[in-house]
Amino acid sequence: MAHKKAGGSSRNGRDSQGQRLGVKRYGGQTVRAGTVIVRQRGTKIHPGRHVGLGRDFTIYALVDGVVHFDHANKRSRRANVAPSLNGNGAAPEPAA
């Protein structure tokens, strides 16, 4: 009689969950104080004005306002929040 042996289990077939890192609020978006702007490992993006840096290098808004990114120098990027002056979380109207 022909018999088939039981197949061995694969030693592969495992993977870790994604860590959900990256930019959470992009330039031009309005944020409330405490909103996470970037989740990262290390300071790929540095904190700028009105932005805090958490223990796990999370960048978050310290004030209500509008997010914008710029370059601190040739190599490092920086996240900033321009505070909203009208109190409702919206950006102030630009002077024309």
Mean pLDDT (the chain) is: 89
Q: Is residue 78 in a domain?
A: yes
6 assigned to some structural domain: no
Report the CATH number at residue 38: 2.40.50.100
Each residue's pLDDT tens digit, 9-55: 788 888 999 999 999 999 999 999 999 999 999 999 999 999 999 99
Domain assignment of residue 46, yes or no: yes
Q: Is the pLDDT of residue 86 over 90?
A: no
The answer to whether residue 30 is domain-embedded is yes
> Structural domain of residue 77, as residue ranges?
22-83
Domain assignment of residue 55, yes or no = yes
Q: Nearest CA to 27 among 96, 91, 86?
A: 91
What pLDDT does residue 93 have?
55
Tally the domains of the chain: 1
Over 70: is that where the pLDDT of 83 sits?
yes
